[in-house]
Amino acid sequence: MNYGFLIDNRKCIGCHACSTACKSENQVPLGVYRTWVKTTEVGVYPDVTRNFQVTRCNHCENPPCVRICPVTAMSQRDNGIVEFDGDACIGCKACMQACPYDAIYIDPDTSTAAKCHFCAHRVETGLEPACVVVCPEHAILAGDLDDPTSEIARALAKHPVSVRKPEQGTAPKTFYIDGHDANLHPTAAPRPDAMMFTEVVGEAAFEVSVDPDDPAPLKVSPSGSPIRTPRAQGTPPSPIRVSAGRQAGQMVQLAYNAQHQVPWHWPVPAYLVTKGIGAGVFLLLAAGAMLGWFPVSGADVAWAGLPALLMLGVTTGLLVYDLERPERFLRILFRPQWASWLTRGAFILVGFSTLAGLWWAAELGANLGLIMESSVAGARPWLAGLTLPLAVGGAIYTAFLFAQAEGRDLWQSPLLPPHLLVQAITLGGAELVFLDLIAPLSPELVAAGRIAFTAGLVADLFMVLLGELGVPHASELAARAAHDITHGRYRQHFWGGAVALGHVLPLALLAVGGPVPAAIAAAAAIAGMYFYEYAFVMAPQDIPNS
């Protein structure tokens, strides 16, 4: 069996019966939707057409939300239904980022992910989904796509159909007869200041001639108060008309839709920075100790490793804090779903933090005389060799997690893994340069940190301007997000924060020389890195997916 939906837009009247039936059947709280009717208006008055589209989970053949879920809360049944388990969900919101259709929301009552599940509890007993039963026009069909005798299969064979975002490769199984481009494409209609059922933004007045003998027609303001307009005695009344203080600025207008909240906020860009610092410091320490590029002493590891480990601890804290159900965090470790890079990244971070912590503890013990220094010095290349790949993994695994977030096209960049590695080296070098003011690091380590910091700033600026944001993007959504970073809502974060504060100022201060300017440069670079990550994380989430 292979269940799917067919929506006949020729019959849909936009009554919202499917939406209310879905809420009633599944006890969906106010403010969130599993099924809703998107409405667009095309044309200019008086030649305007209104288009309706029942919008919901597509129960994709290739569902990205299932792959990214770290605890198997999202799953695909043998009959093709994409199901969710609220009792297992930890509220990481990764499935919301993976869905290219904005079909998943966080239930405000349970703080777990939820969506249309094809009324699986009804299907199991031989009943149709509630939305199908309640539709007064029989505009919604549901059934087995693999059964040629089913009504939905016969309708699909008879009529040309379309789906939402076929280019995503998810193979959606919600089909539309007479689907309109204005509804199918999320960016076809600009986001309005107000929509149907909401307060109108901007002044508009409605003038209606009521009585031929009345000397003044009645003008009604948007607030509902009547306004009398004088008219000369004997002047014939004007025909009934509507006049507004503003006109539609486009041929396509969004009248009604239901967007879900932006899933990830400031903790995610902050975690990218703290993780980059912790990974970058140990990456440099391990490279020096194992490859012999520069001498690394036990005191260097003890002094530089402590703030790096603290940053890794902050990273874990930010990850847990961002969960809707933080008390369920350990489920990532105890019931992992190994296809998810959220799970893989958690194990990489645990392994990296554990091994780096053991190395730091051994070096600290040797410095305090608790362990024979010769024993630690002999084991140092081995400890560094084991730490180095985990440090690299800790730096770059987020790139593969972002790649699984298929609803955000800007994050699907093949340049992202090396870019995160460059950022980690830059941040690690920045910490070493900053610590030179307050910790007795060896001159060789500080010099290596300064080189890594300077080279990293140049490479990172090059990769941002000419790589991530400067090249043409493969999709409209990625191009829109990149434009919002460089010329739109986040341009000040980017040009003022990331470029000027985070790169130009640090390079100028490093050219001045001296430990104090270098320390200021390090602090500015870390702040600038946060501004960039904030814009990079937030901009794609502002592009509508429904």
Return the CATH number at 61: 3.30.70.20
210 and 286 share one domain: no
Q: Is residue 489 part of a domain?
A: yes
Reported confidence tier of residue 250, pLDDT bands at 50, 70, 90: low
- 22 and 95 together in one domain: yes
Tell whether 286 and 227 lie within a shared domain: no
| CA distances in angstroms from 51 to 17, 38, 48, 183, 205, listed in the order given | 16, 8, 10, 7, 26
Q: Are residues 66 and 161 in the same domain?
A: yes
Domain range holding 297? 267-539
81: in domain: yes
- Tokens 């730096």 found at: 395
Nearest to 40 by CA among 28, 49, 27: 49
Which of residues 141 and 44 earns the better pLDDT score? 141
pLDDT of res. 234: 52
Residue 460 is assigned to a structural domain of this protein = yes
Q: Report the pLDDT value the prediction gives residue 46, as an integer from 0 to 100.
A: 80
State which amino acid sits at residue 182.
Answer: A
According to the model, what pLDDT value does residue 152 have? 97
Q: Are 368 and 439 contained in the same domain?
A: yes
Pick from 440, 506, 541: nearest CA to 98: 541
Q: Tokens 């009324």 identify what position?
A: 119
Q: Tell whether pTM > 0.75.
A: yes
Considering its fold, how many domains does the chain have in total?
3
Judge if 306 and 452 occupy the same domain: yes
- DSSP H/E element including 139: none
Q: What is the pLDDT of residues 349-401, one digit of tens each?
A: 999 999 999 999 999 998 888 888 888 888 889 999 999 999 999 999 999 99
Q: Would you tell me how many other CB atoms lie within 10 Å of the CB of residue 444?
A: 15
Q: Give the pLDDT confidence score for residue 191 in this predicted structure.
A: 75
- Decide if 510 contacts 518 (C-beta within 8 A): yes
**CATH (domain of 530):** 1.20.1630.10
